[in-house]
Structure 1
Amino acid sequence: MTIKVVTDSGSGLSQKKANALGIDFLPLQVIVDDHTYLDGVDLDIDDLYDHIAQGASVQTSLPPLGIMEDLLESYEEQGVDQVILITLSNGLSSTNSTFLAAANRHGIQVHTLDLFTTLGVEHYCALAAASLNDKNVAPEQIVSTLKEAIDRSAGYLIAEDLDHLAKGGRLTPMAAKLGGMLKIKPILEVSKNTGGKVDVWSKVRTMSKAIKTGADQIGQSVDDPSQYVFYVLDARNEEGAQTAIEELKSVLGDQADIRREPMYAVIACHTGLGAVGMQYVKKVKGE
């Protein structure tokens, strides 16, 4: 039995970094105006931020079917018969179901779960899956262990640019205009609570108030901070990220495991620059 771990670029990994960790990689497509890039292959996050800053129209799509087929054909040749698949939420993308259907055609068994989110939580789960696989933990046990962690996870996003959310269909143009006039910041949730889709959790005024509100909610949601990993992500918002870190420390304690990451393309394309995200996930035993 030969087992491979596969993740997509919603994990924030590049192809090079994933492969160095023994993880196979499915790049999401990022469409910038009329040009299509492969996230983590020929487009990095700073390039994307530059395109957004220049006013380009950006959107994402699932990894090319040809890349999935090529990977699965290589597995057949290598004798790989099982895959542990870690992808972004089924509520955000059809990547998971598309790969499952393709793998079935090739007779390859896939062990997977719905993360109900992406970004830092997906990053953590991909690395944990690879670590457990290296320790010869059974695929079924890996997925079961990850599910326990996901059941104790959540994430909150605050966008600076409401017009960008409106372009992506997350807010109506009128709501974005009114929100901008009133300095309203919607706090978006992407978690099991929302079925893995983006939903408005709360609305407050100012970015700093939104960050504090999100951090306070996280503080109330975790029982023992030492048993969790926390992520702060931002799209070129240094001040917002530092505020989020300080607010989380104030409710979790200075010893909390808080990790800083850029806002990956899978979400940054929809929130625009200035966005800040905060996530938490229960630590995986043995990873």
Structure 2
Amino acid sequence: MSRPTPTVRVVTDSTACLPDGAADDGGPVVVPLRVLAGERSWREGVDIAPPEVAARIGAGERLTTSQPPGEDFAAVFRELASDGARAVVAVHLSGGMSGTADAAARAGQRAMLPVRVVDSRTVAMALGFAALEAARCAAEGHDAAHVAARAQQVAAASETVFLVESLDHLRRGGRLSGPAAVLGGALGVRPILAVRDGGIELVQRVRTRRAATDRLIDLAVRRAARCDAPGVAVHHLGAPERAAEVAERLQERTGTTPVVTPVSAVLGAHAGPGALAVVVADLGNHGHDEPPL
């Protein structure tokens, strides 16, 4: 039996890479970003999925991305208000990577109910875990301030590290500086990247794909060991076997069963086929202990 719909609702965006079913029964409402090719536009998760993005990039097609239009947010806020919501907490990918949070904030100023926007300063399941924890707090009856604070807490206590086959997609999309792309793209080097301070940084250069994968797992295991209650996720674009292997090794070493999902279509357009990412978030240390309203 489904639970009553919370009066505070959580909204996120499609770069959260949420697993199937996460938005059911009062879970986060997902607003899709756009994947663009010339004059064509697709809503990710609705009109286009990660495998098609990988196939199009592999065929040499140049893809770009765009934040959701303000009307998409306005329509979601109207629908939630008509369903009985009294407030919305909108948790979105880093403002350093996209104008999505700003678009949500502008739409929220004109909404029929109060909207709090949280710039997660991160992306993928680091954002997803934050949105899910926020929705859990909302389902427990906490107010919008508490829900937003919990989203911010989880996002700040997360780490995302990833590998790409080529840095060209990140460089062309403006997500990685030219000097970092040059350093990371040296011949025979596999770069390890991380989402830090709302942007993407080059963390380390490793010689082989296997060594890079091992290092990715080591970094995630070290991070999980520092968490009270680690949440772990593995993402990929067109590399399900590698993702399954990494998830199995992470489960063996952390005792936590990872969430495994394709990287979102928008993130895939910037990371490129073969991308592999690991997210670790601390889901413990819930520091807001006031009783729900």
TM range (shorter): 0.7 to 0.9
**Counterpart in the other structure of 1:266:** 266
Q: 1:238 aligns with which of 231, 237, 240?
A: 240
Quote how far apart the aligned CAs of 1:247 are.
4.7
In the alignment, is the contact (CA less than 8 A) between 2:158 and 2:280 conserved in 1? Answer: yes
Judging changes above 3 Å, is the alpha-carbon distance between structure 1 residues 278 and 88 closer, same or farther for their aligned structure 2 residues? same
Equivalents in 1 of 2:136, 2:115: separation in Å?
18
1:51 maps to 2:45: no
Would the alpha carbon gap of residues 216 and 43 (structure 1) be closer, same or farther in structure 2, given more than 3 Å must change? same
Hey, what does 2:101 align to over in structure 1? Answer: 96
Q: Quick one: which amino acid aligns to residue 262 of structure 1?
A: P
Q: TM-score, normalised by structure 2?
A: 0.82
Q: What SS does structure 1 have at the residue aligned with 2:106?
A: helix
**Can you list the C-alpha shifts for 1:32-85, whole angstroms capped at 9, x where unaligned?**
343101112222222222222222111111001221233334456566441111
Query: CA distance change for structure 1 residues 242 and 27 in 2, over 3 Å: closer, same or farther?
Result: closer
Deviation at 1:111, TM superposition (A): 2.6
CA contact 1:26–1:68 (8 Å) conserved in 2:
yes
CA deviations on 1:242-285 (whole Å, 9 max, x unpaired) are: 443355346x34x2232211111232111110010011001155
Give, in whole Å, the separation in 2 of the partners of 1:165 and 1:11.
Answer: 18
> Identity rate of aligned residues, in percent?
25
Distance 1:188 1:178 in 2: 9
Distance across 2 between alignment mates of 1:14 and 1:232? 11
| Partner Cα separation in structure 2 for residue 108 and residue 178 of structure 1 | 46
CA distance in 1, matches of 2:279, 2:64: 23
Q: Is the 2:19–2:261 contact (alpha carbons within 8 Å) kept by the matching residues of 1?
A: no
- Among residues 111, 115, 120, which one is paired with 2:116 in the alignment? 111
| Superposed displacement of residue 219, structure 1 | 2.6
Counterpart in 1 of 2:222?
Answer: 220
Which of 75, 83, 86 pairs up with 2:88? 83
Q: Size of the alignment, in residue pairs?
A: 280
2:3 corresponds to which residue? none
Structure 1: distance between partners of 2:73 and 2:194: 30
SS at match of 1:93: coil
Greater than 6 Å deviation, 4+ residue runs? 14-17
1:174–1:278 Cα change, 3 Å: closer
Structure-to-structure mapping, 1:151-162, within 5 angstroms = 151-162=156-167
Change (3 A) 1:142 1:207: same
Partner of 1:125: 130
Return 5+ residue gaps in structure 1 as ranges.
none
Q: Tell me: CA distance 1:37–1:16, structure 2 relative to 1, closer, same or farther (3 Å).
A: farther
Amino acid at match of 1:209: A
Match of 1:208 among 207, 210, 215: 210
Residue 160 of structure 1: how far off its partner (Å): 0.9
Greater share of helix residues, 1 or 2? 1
Q: Deviations over 1:94-118 (max 9, x none)?
A: 1112211221133632233232211
Q: 1:154 to 1:249 in 2, by over 3 A?
A: same
1:113 counterpart SS class: strand
Q: Indicate if the aligned counterparts of 1:207 and 1:240 stay in contact, CA closer than 8 A.
A: no
Aligned residue type for 2:223: S
Q: Tell me whether 66-75 or 80-89 shows the greater mean CA deviation.
A: 66-75
Shift, 1:25, TM fit: 2.9
Paired letter, 1:227: A
Q: Residues 106, 258 of structure 1: CA spacing in aligned structure 2 closer, same or farther, 3 A cutoff?
A: closer
Q: Give the distance between the partners of 1:120 and 1:34, measured in 2 at CA.
A: 30
Instruction: Give yes or no for contact 2:160–2:279 (8 Å, CA) kept in 1.
Output: yes
Aligned AA for 1:202? Q
Match of 2:10? 5
Out of 214-223 and 228-237, give the one that drifted further: 214-223
